[in-house]
Chain A
Amino acid sequence: MHATKHYSATSRLLHWAMALLLISMLFLGLSMVQSLAVWQVEAVALHKSFGIVALILVIIRLINTWRSVSPSLPNELSQLQRIAASATHTGLYISMLLMPLSGWLMQNADGRVVNVFGLFSLPNLIAVDIRYFAFFREVHALAAWVFLLLIFMHISAALYHGLIKSDGVFSSMFKGR
């Protein structure tokens, strides 16, 4: 099979849309848990709604990744770089799933229903329990920081390939051909 050099248009659209959404969500999350400003109430409601959007997108993305062929990394990359890339990508996918799921569950554990843009409500998955709340609340916070660290590493590596190495790794996600 002829090796592909670029991600498909679907993959690229999902990647960049989620990049924008997830970084916005992480920054909003960090600030809204501290803010006493009047916008905080709407911010929390939007954070929950967009969190569900992110959950749906990551599921679509995982199916898309599984069904499509990804460009392979350049041959000159060392084994260590390959392991690092693969570990970061796995970590990013785990974070993408863990963030919305822990958010949903921490709401349920505090007896709250997750409503999406005022359109519909999600079912409550677990019993109301302060201990469950504590667990999922701390997972949500810890996963957010790990996620930010992984994103930092991911962007660093992408820019390293794009700006320094110019080996096609960056352009495989940046453009179609």
Chain B
Amino acid sequence: MTKTTRSNKPTIGVFRVCALAVSMGVFATATLYFAGAFNDDQVTAQAFVDLQQGSKVHAGFRRAHAKGICVSGNFESTGLLSAYSTANVFKLGNTPFIGRFSIAGNNPTAPDLKAPVRSLAFVVNTATDDEWRVAMNTPPVMAVATPDAFYKQLQALAPNPETGKRDAKKISAFFKAHPESKAFNEWKASYTPANSFATERYNSINAFYLHDAQGKRQAVRWQAVPRMSDQEVAGLDQQSPDALQQQLISQLEKQPVRFDLMFTLADSNDDENNPTIPWPSSRQVINAGSLVIADWRFQNEGACGAQNFDPLVLPKGMSATADPILRARGAAYAQSFRRRATETLLNQHITDKEGAGDARN
């Protein structure tokens, strides 16, 4: 293809080379686009988990709620929820579960009594179509309604890496800018931590749908309500960093710990997609059954340590609402799980000093 032959030939040649180059440029650019290379405004699951893990990574541990203790027992269903959901777990009868009590934060050796939030997670029917994973926390509502605002909330609450102190000005500015946090802050002001993991109330926070045999759906939230009161449990060792775990262990050595799973049914006035607004106490509440916790294990020894309590794993007869916070949880949990799983595979936690002892994994 030289200029000495027909005059249109070189132009076609150049055009064709350009077409090839442009095609490959489009493919490469599309790949980078979907890989997030040009994303600088959307919060990603990776950015979220980076923020949660902080500057010091505790290899092999979950990035949030790193410290916890495994429990197991039976879910004793009352059968009352089976009118609303076809899920097998809600039929009258018992289903074994494994669970985990934990405290908020990325440090697997943090002192139990300093954590602002406590959690109870459990899973039934693992590796089947009836699997249900549940992750509940002490607050009944979220402070904000979107993952983006939640990210900013965590940023505002994060302690200064140099001083280790929180910035009160930043925090109050955040809550001022987010009036939807009213219910959350009211709860926070009225909340007194219980004297035991066994006497806290744990909330689903987000709403879910139950589906009945006719295909009708009902939005619900639920709360694990303890059978025991603070007066009935042994005192806490205020000096011990593992006060809550030790107290739970001594409790379980005496007798099982019970929670009733109380489901609140939304009515047409409630927005199931907004996790910042509590539903009125006048709503119908149904006792789905009791979580009867009979046994415990340290998390490095028990099955709960390696469990990803992704609340979007739902049995047939349940589904996720469009709540943006709920729907962000799957990708964020998966990212945290992937990081610690790979660290566990590569045995990185063995060299981590904090990996030793009862809080491992």
Chain A residues at the B interface, C-beta cutoff of 8 Å: 26-28, 30-38, 40-41, 44, 108, 110-113, 115, 121, 124, 128-131, 133-135, 137-138, 148, 151-152, 155-156, 159-160, 163-164
Which of B16, B28, B34, B324 contacts A31 (CB under 8 A)?
B34
Instruction: Report whether B16 and A27 are in contact in the complex, using a CB–CB cutoff of 8 Å.
Output: no
Bound CA span A124–B131, Å:
13
Instruction: Report whether A129 and B306 are in contact in the complex, using a CB–CB cutoff of 8 Å.
Output: yes
Instruction: Report whether A159 and B327 are in contact in the complex, using a CB–CB cutoff of 8 Å.
Output: no
Instruction: Report whether B341 and A130 are in contact in the complex, using a CB–CB cutoff of 8 Å.
Output: yes
Bound CA span A115–B17, Å:
45
Instruction: Report whether B24 and A159 are in contact in the complex, using a CB–CB cutoff of 8 Å.
Output: yes
Chain B residues at the A interface, C-beta cutoff of 8 Å: 13, 16-17, 19-20, 23-24, 27-28, 30-31, 34-36, 39, 42-46, 48, 123, 126-129, 131, 147-148, 306-308, 312-313, 320, 322, 324, 327-328, 330-332, 334-335, 337-338, 340-342, 344-346
Q: Which residue of B lies closest to A34 (CB)?
A: B44
Q: Given A30-B34, A34-B45, A36-B45, do A113 and B330 touch, yes or no (CB 8 Å)? A: no
Bound CA span A85–B19, Å:
22
Q: Given A35-B45, A155-B23, do A108 and B30 touch, yes or no (CB 8 Å)? A: no
Most buried by A among B307, B308, B332, B342: B342
Q: Given A27-B34, A138-B342, do A113 and B127 touch, yes or no (CB 8 Å)? A: yes
Q: Which residue of B lies closest to A35 (CB)?
A: B331
Q: Given A41-B312, A159-B20, A159-B23, do A111 and B127 touch, yes or no (CB 8 Å)? A: yes
Instruction: Report whether A31 and B312 are in contact in the complex, using a CB–CB cutoff of 8 Å.
Output: no
Give the shortest distance, in Å, between B331 (CB) and chain A (any CB): 5
Give the shortest distance, in Å, between B190 (CB) and chain A (any CB): 30
Which of A40, A110, A155, A163 contacts B16 (CB under 8 A)?
A163
Main secondary structure of the interface of B (DSSP, over half): helix
Bound CA span A137–B335, Å:
11
Which of A34, A38, A135, A151 contacts B345 (CB under 8 A)?
A135
- Residues of B contacting A41 in the complex (Cβ-Cβ under 8 angstroms): 312, 320, 327, 330
Q: Given A41-B312, A121-B129, A148-B31, do A36 and B20 touch, yes or no (CB 8 Å)? A: no
Instruction: Report whether B16 and A131 are in contact in the complex, using a CB–CB cutoff of 8 Å.
Output: no
Give the shortest distance, in Å, between B314 (CB) and chain A (any CB): 10
Instruction: Report whether A163 and B19 are in contact in the complex, using a CB–CB cutoff of 8 Å.
Output: yes
Q: Which residue of A lies closest to B329 (CB)?
A: A36
Which of A113, A133, A155 contacts B128 (CB under 8 A)?
A113
- Residues of A contacting B324 in the complex (Cβ-Cβ under 8 angstroms): 37-38
Instruction: Report whether A36 and B147 are in contact in the complex, using a CB–CB cutoff of 8 Å.
Output: yes
Instruction: Report whether A30 and B31 are in contact in the complex, using a CB–CB cutoff of 8 Å.
Output: yes
9 closest residue pairs by CB, A with B: A134-B345, A134-B341, A130-B306, A36-B328, A27-B34, A34-B44, A163-B16, A36-B147, A30-B34
Give the shortest distance, in Å, between A132 (CB) and chain B (any CB): 9
Instruction: Report whether B337 and A110 are in contact in the complex, using a CB–CB cutoff of 8 Å.
Output: yes
- Residues of A contacting B46 in the complex (Cβ-Cβ under 8 angstroms): 34
Instruction: Report whether B127 and A128 are in contact in the complex, using a CB–CB cutoff of 8 Å.
Output: yes
Instruction: Report whether A152 and B28 are in contact in the complex, using a CB–CB cutoff of 8 Å.
Output: yes
- Residues of A contacting B308 in the complex (Cβ-Cβ under 8 angstroms): 110
Give the shortest distance, in Å, between A159 (CB) and chain B (any CB): 5
- Residues of A contacting B28 in the complex (Cβ-Cβ under 8 angstroms): 152
Instruction: Report whether A30 and B127 are in contact in the complex, using a CB–CB cutoff of 8 Å.
Output: no
Q: Given A134-B344, A137-B342, do A34 and B24 touch, yes or no (CB 8 Å)? A: no
Which of A27, A30, A111, A133 contacts B131 (CB under 8 A)?
A111
- Residues of A contacting B328 in the complex (Cβ-Cβ under 8 angstroms): 36-37, 40
Q: Given A31-B34, A40-B330, A134-B341, do A112 and B313 touch, yes or no (CB 8 Å)? A: yes
Bound CA span A135–B308, Å:
16
Give the shortest distance, in Å, between A111 (CB) and chain B (any CB): 4
Instruction: Report whether B127 and A130 are in contact in the complex, using a CB–CB cutoff of 8 Å.
Output: no
Most buried by A among B42, B306, B313, B344: B306
- Residues of A contacting B44 in the complex (Cβ-Cβ under 8 angstroms): 34-36
Most buried by B among A26, A38, A148, A155: A38
- Residues of A contacting B147 in the complex (Cβ-Cβ under 8 angstroms): 36
Give the shortest distance, in Å, between B312 (CB) and chain A (any CB): 6
Give the shortest distance, in Å, between B48 (CB) and chain A (any CB): 7
Which of A34, A131, A135 contacts B36 (CB under 8 A)?
A34
Which of A31, A131, A156 contacts B344 (CB under 8 A)?
A131
- Residues of A contacting B131 in the complex (Cβ-Cβ under 8 angstroms): 111-113
Bound CA span A36–B324, Å:
8
Instruction: Report whether A156 and B129 are in contact in the complex, using a CB–CB cutoff of 8 Å.
Output: no
